């Protein structure tokens, strides 16, 4: 599969063909397949198949049974509760490695775990005509509200992650359309004492400043908005602290004396642009030189060094590629400049597309984070969030020609580079906890948590919408340093059959900052209006 960054050469696109499921009246072979699945799932005792059923089974596709008893690719309409479900999501993989290892066994178990949910066999779930259940919006909202209340005692071990929990819950609630203004005052009072006089935020009271919790708190404050929340941030101290983290090779440490990795590059870039900080370095910065080095000097070059031979990105040069690091790399470059300029300049785009494409599995249809690893709901964002950035890179800049006009009127789009349908199926079928607990999860055998709830919803939002990098003059009025990330526009994605009900559409999250659309622009505009410290 070849993707060209520039030019008009042909691009290959995979189209999934659907076939109608067996009707309710035709029970034959499909009912026997359903009986086998029901027995495997619930231990139900079934009668031996009739001669007609045995004949039908003999005509079905033979599936290698080295690992598990076969599950037939076509499920009945009675059990699937759907009239049309692509075989891709209800069949075992057509090509399977016969070398039996621990990794292959766990992968096989994951497939068997997900197939019943993808095939419409989850007890109590209601499916639409495409075999997709509804988004349990109210349960997920309740779950996220609860995560912002008093937590059980074992959460003491996660004290340093509290800033992340604020961000995960607030971003998730916003994506679900919930009003989060009630949390503005509690957030302010909670994070005020964990800001250090030397700049930045720690994970909790008395903890040293670190880029990860600082990133989480800055985004959480941007989500709740308001002058009191934004003015809480000591921008001068933040600038001095970031200068202390800046390294001569172009990257950033995550804390003073800590590791230097691509998380630091992305988090620092987010903070610099959202707070409209000056990029000049003070003389006491480790990266200061008499040649005019800045906070941004060498940053794009350092990010480039993290691309691996596979095509993905590692946390630091010469390490293993990981989905979250790929997102950090792409988003960081989109802060430093326009995606259609920066990404081809610093990244081997075809290799990255190849690696990212290999992260989406079938039949599960979700994403894995690394080579030879399992699907995980959180990569709906970390990997899924890479695609809108790459699609915008390949599309090139668009421009709204008239008020209300679609950005597509001014550009040719490469379309969708991944299976949005597949990801939506994995999220809505496999990642929802439909019990009273609510929330979203890694996969059906795991419990829901606020981390997965946030990033699974982010992936769902990305799959439901199409982002464009827009060069309209009205989007560049704020100017100043690092203005590119504020030139994105969004519309509902309509490039294929919509398999989910419109009521299950979620809100939009900025493709670079991963906060509600408009929040980043408002935050940047507020700090830009202050004119310095």
**What is the structure's pLDDT at 216?**
98
In a domain, 155, yes or no: no
Contact 286, 252 (CB under 8 A): no
Sequence-separated (6 or more) residues with CB below 8 Å from residue 9: 2
User: Residue 391 sits in a domain of what CATH number?
Assistant: 1.50.10.20
In a domain, 162, yes or no: no
Q: Quick one: 520 and 401 in the same domain?
A: yes
123 has pLDDT over 50: yes
Q: Helix (H, G, I), strand (E, B), or coil: what is residue 494?
A: coil
Q: Quick one: 493 and 446 in the same domain?
A: yes
Q: Quick one: 238 and 340 in the same domain?
A: yes
For residue 77 the two structure tokens come to 């309409």
Q: Quick one: 97 and 142 in the same domain?
A: no
**31-35, 259-263, 383-387: range with lowest mean pLDDT:** 31-35
**7-16, 128-137, 204-213, 433-442: range with lowest mean pLDDT:** 7-16
pTM over 0.75: yes
Q: How far is CA 115 from CA 135, 154, 168, 238, 492, in A?
A: 19, 34, 29, 49, 29
In a domain, 166, yes or no: no
Domain range for 350: 137-148+180-283+299-530
* 292 torsion bin: left (phi>0), alpha (psi -120 to 50), beta (else): left
Q: Quick one: 258 and 372 in the same domain?
A: yes
End-to-end CA separation in angstroms for the chain: 51
What is the distance between the alpha carbons of residues 334 and 129, in angstroms, rounded to a whole number? 39
Q: Quick one: 94 and 141 in the same domain?
A: no
In a domain, 233, yes or no: yes
What is the distance between the alpha carbons of residues 475 and 473, in angstroms, rounded to a whole number? 5
* Number of domains observed in the structure of the chain: 2
In a domain, 290, yes or no: no
Q: Quick one: 256 and 359 in the same domain?
A: yes
Location of structure tokens 């993707």: 3
In a domain, 263, yes or no: yes
Average pLDDT of the segment spanning 298-304: 97
Residue-by-residue DSSP string for 196-211:
-TTSSB-SSTTPPP-H
Length of the chain: 533
Contact 512, 327 (CB under 8 A): no
Contact 338, 469 (CB under 8 A): yes
Q: Helix (H, G, I), strand (E, B), or coil: what is residue 246?
A: strand
- In 3D, which of 41, 108, 43, 44 has the Cα closest to residue 75? 41
521 has pLDDT over 70: yes
Q: Quick one: 401 and 333 in the same domain?
A: yes
Q: Quick one: 308 and 234 in the same domain?
A: yes
Q: Quick one: 271 and 312 in the same domain?
A: yes
In a domain, 3, yes or no: no
Query: What is the enclosing helix (H) or strand (E) of 467?
Result: strand 465-469
Tell me the catalytic residues. 322, 370, 373, 376, 378-379, 442, 449, 452
Q: Quick one: 384 and 322 in the same domain?
A: yes
Contact 429, 133 (CB under 8 A): yes
**What is the structure's pLDDT at 81?**
52
Average pLDDT of the segment spanning 366-394: 97
The pLDDT confidence band at residue 121, using thresholds 50, 70 and 90, is: confident
Q: Report residue 420: phi and psi, to 5°.
A: -65, -40
Sequence-separated (6 or more) residues with CB below 8 Å from residue 87: 19, 73, 74
Q: Quick one: 353 and 401 in the same domain?
A: yes
In a domain, 125, yes or no: no
- The fraction of the chain above a pLDDT of 70, given in percent, is 80
Contact 273, 524 (CB under 8 A): yes
Average pLDDT, the chain: 84
**What is the structure's pLDDT at 175?**
98
Largest CA distance in the chain: 87
Q: Report residue 427: phi and psi, to 5°.
A: -65, -50
């Amino acid at each position: 599969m070849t993707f060209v960054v520039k030019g008009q050469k042909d691009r290959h696109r995979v189209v999934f063909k659907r076939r109608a499921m067996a009707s309710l009246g035709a029970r034959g072979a499909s009912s026997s397949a359903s009986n086998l699945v029901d027995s495997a799932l619930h231990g139900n005792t079934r009668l031996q198949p009739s001669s007609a059923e045995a004949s039908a089974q003999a005509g079905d596709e033979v599936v290698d049974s080295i690992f598990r008893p076969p599950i037939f690719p076509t499920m009945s309409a009675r059990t699937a509760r759907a009239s049309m479900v692509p075989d891709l999501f209800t069949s075992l993989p057509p090509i399977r490695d016969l070398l039996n290892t621990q990794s292959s066994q766990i992968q096989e178990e994951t497939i068997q775990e997900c197939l019943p949910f993808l095939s419409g066999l989850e007890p109590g779930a209601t499916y639409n005509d495409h075999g997709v259940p509804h988004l349990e919006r109210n349960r997920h909202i309740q779950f996220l509200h609860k995560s912002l209340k008093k937590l059980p005692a074992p959460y003491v071990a996660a004290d340093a992650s509290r800033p992340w929990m604020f961000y995960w819950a607030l971003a998730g609630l916003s994506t679900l359309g919930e009003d989060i203004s009630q949390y503005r005052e509690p957030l302010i009072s909670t994070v005020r004492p964990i800001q250090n006089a030397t700049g930045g935020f720690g994970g909790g009271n008395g903890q040293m400043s670190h880029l990860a919790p600082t990133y989480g708190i800055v985004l959480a404050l941007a989500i709740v908005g308001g002058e009191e929340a934004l003015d809480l941030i000591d921008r001068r101290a933040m600038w001095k602290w970031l200068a202390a983290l800046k390294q001569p090779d172009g990257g950033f440490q995550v804390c003073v004396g800590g590791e230097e990795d691509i998380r630091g590059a992305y988090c620092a870039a987010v903070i610099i642009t959202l707070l409209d900080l000056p990029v000049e370095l003070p003389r006491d910065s480790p990266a200061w030189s008499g040649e005019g080095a800045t906070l941004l000097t060498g940053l794009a070059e350092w990010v480039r060094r993290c691309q691996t031979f596979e095509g993905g990105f590692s946390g630091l040069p010469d390490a293993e590629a990981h989905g979250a690091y790929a997102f950090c790399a792409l988003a960081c470059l989109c802060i430093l400049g326009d995606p259609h300029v920066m990404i081809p300049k610093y990244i081997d785009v075809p290799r990255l597309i190849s690696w990212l494409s290999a992260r989406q599995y079938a039949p599960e249809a979700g994403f894995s984070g690394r080579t030879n690893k399992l699907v995980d709901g959180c990569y709906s964002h970390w990997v899924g969030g890479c695609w809108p950035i790459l699609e915008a890179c390949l599309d090139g800049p668009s421009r709204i020609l008239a008020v209300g006009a679609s950005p597509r009127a001014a550009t040719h789009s490469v379309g969708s580079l991944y299976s949005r349908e597949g990801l939506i199926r994995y999220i809505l079928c496999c990642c929802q906890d439909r019990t009273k607990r609510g929330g979203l999860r890694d996969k059906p055998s795991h419990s829901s948590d606020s981390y997965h709830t946030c990033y699974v919803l982010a992936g769902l939002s990305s799959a439901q919408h199409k982002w464009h990098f827009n060069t309209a003059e009205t989007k560049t009025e704020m100017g100043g340093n690092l203005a590119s990330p504020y030139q994105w526009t969004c519309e509902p994605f309509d490039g294929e059959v919509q398999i989910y009900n419109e009521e299950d559409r979620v809100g939009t999250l900025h493709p670079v900052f991963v906060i509600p659309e408009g929040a980043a622009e408002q935050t940047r505009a507020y700090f830009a209006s202050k004119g310095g410290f």
